[in-house]
Amino acid sequence: MTFDVVALCGKQPEPGEFLAALLAAGPELRLHTVDETQLVQLFHEDGRLMLTTEGARLVQVAGEVARLLRFQGEVPHPVWWVESRAPGHDREAESVARRFTHALLTATGGMSWSSR
């Protein structure tokens, strides 16, 4: 299982904000991109995968975020959805994912959801 976290950004993340959030997740981590899928991955220096994240996607349908996440609270609308995953058994990787999401939301506003 993976640890999943979704940033529900109040505005579209600018490229510089996205990169700054990746850096905040761990300046020592190595960056890898998978261009055809818009995936960005961060790796520990020992080779462990720490984070996989996707580009932002605009969610325009009211109630869609609540439906997808089974979320009962108030969700801002519209939002930019940025989904990230970390290996579920690695607490250090979970921390990387949380730092990335926190930094991204500090720049864009919004809220987050996580699988734990």
pLDDT of residue 92: 97
Considering the chain, what is the average pLDDT of its residues?
93
Q: What SS3 class is residue 6?
A: strand
Kindly indicate the confidence band of residue 105, based on its pLDDT and cuts at 50, 70 and 90: very high
Spell out the SS3 assignment of 54-78: ECCEEECCCCHHHHHHCCCCCCCCC
Task: Please report, for residues 1, 30, 46, 76, 86, the alpha-carbon distance to residue 7 in angstroms, rounded to integers and kept in the order given.
Answer: 19, 22, 27, 12, 14
Segment 46-58 mean pLDDT: 96
Domains of the chain in start order, with CATH, are 2-114 (3.30.310)
Q: Are 21 and 97 in contact (CB under 8 A)?
A: no
Please say if the pLDDT value at position 74 is more than 80. no
